[in-house]
Amino acid sequence: MAIRGGLEAGRILIRSTNWIGDVVMSLAAVRELRRLHPRSTLSVFAREWVAGLFEGQGLVDEIITFSGGRRTLGWSRRLKGFDAAVIFQNAFEAALLTFLSRIPERIGYATQHRGPLLTRRARPRTARLRRHQVYHYLDLLYLTGVSPRDYLNDSTFRPDVSLRPTPDGVARAGTLLAEMGVDGGEVLVGLNPGAFYGPAKRWFSDRYASVADRLIGEQRARVLIFGSKGEERIADEILGRMRETPLILTGRTDLALLVALMARCRLFITNDSGPMHLAAALAVPQIALFGSTDEVATGPFSDRATVIHKHAECSPCLRRECPIDLRCFSRITVDEVYEAARERLRS
């Protein structure tokens, strides 16, 4: 069964990307698949740490989670019966799995030498055209004939990457904030000082501490410091440099709770990271700080974001660690970030 515009029936498997930010940036394409095939059954195959982003969004009919590792190919027998697979994840293994599952239509980018495994393939063009990664996933639908719409060149199309918190997450967020003594009318500002990719994506802890002190002292905000397990050291560094007392949530939230807590924030200050993209999806005003990465391709897809990036002669280098002096971040000052935050809080 061919997956083309106007398909009214069938089972479509979506191979999700593996990281929070990439999942958010692919949501517009998932929405287009839902719009194009309202009567088809859409199932998403996603790693367990990102699968929750699809819960309660009305985008897919089924969420199939897996933990990754060497056993992933063992899913080939369990994924039989799908009519088509749209593969947003770029790895060779993602295409191989759909091939071994004998899914008749296998749609994806011909990256990682996997072209022979696909029945509909395309070459990525968003990087060459300097377009946002959101269009990378949408363009796959156009280039392979799944959609007749040329999203890259259609000025009337506005990609939708929005998310909403789940009821469970909202309830648990309310309980946690009450336990921490947070009044419902307080101004909450979230800080996300970590970044999984590496230190070249992290603004300095002492500067986050200074901004947090000023937000608490001058704006009477309650500052929440977020982060994943393993980033507790960063939160401790910030806390140790502060005069005021923030609320430390690093390592204490699952995905649903993180999303719900972020949705309560009036402002979010963050490095280029998965939570940065969550803030964009939740329409939370944010200040996004960029170092080694490219804000054009992977910046927050939001008109409520202020991006601060000091382009050094070597940027964007896309390195995990800076071999010199991290000048792209050292040029971002506390005053600049605080003033941008103050302006966002005023609006």
- Whether 11-150 shares its CATH topology with 167-346 is answered yes
Which CATH architecture best describes the domain 11-150? 3-Layer(aba) Sandwich (3.40)
Residue 6: per-residue pLDDT: 40
Residue 44 parent element (H or E):
strand 41-47
Nearest to 248 by CA among 236, 256, 260, 259: 236
Per the listing, tokens 């401790």 go with 236
Could you tell me the two tokens for 195? 């970044």
Task: Please state the domain extents for the chain.
Answer: 11-150, 167-346
pTM of the model: 0.94
pLDDT in tens, 5-54: 444 458 999 999 999 999 999 999 999 999 999 999 999 999 999 999 99
pLDDT in tens, 199-257: 778 999 999 999 999 999 999 999 999 999 999 999 999 999 999 999 999 999 999 99
Secondary structure (3-state) at 93:
helix
- Is the previous residue joined to 316 through a cis bond, with omega within 30 degrees of 0? yes
Could you tell me the two tokens for 112? 């990682």
From the options 3.30.365.10, 3.40.50.2000, 3.30.70.890, 3.30.70.920, give the CATH code of 167-346: 3.40.50.2000
Across 268-290, average pLDDT: 97
pLDDT in tens, 156-179: 999 999 999 999 999 999 999 999
- Is the previous residue joined to 159 through a cis bond, with omega within 30 degrees of 0? no
Do residues 10 and 85 lie in contact, with contact meaning Cβ atoms separated by under 8 Å? no
Q: How many Cα atoms occupy the beta-carbon half-sphere of 118 within 13 Å?
A: 25
DSSP state of 80: T
Nearest to 340 by CA among 201, 187, 211, 190: 211
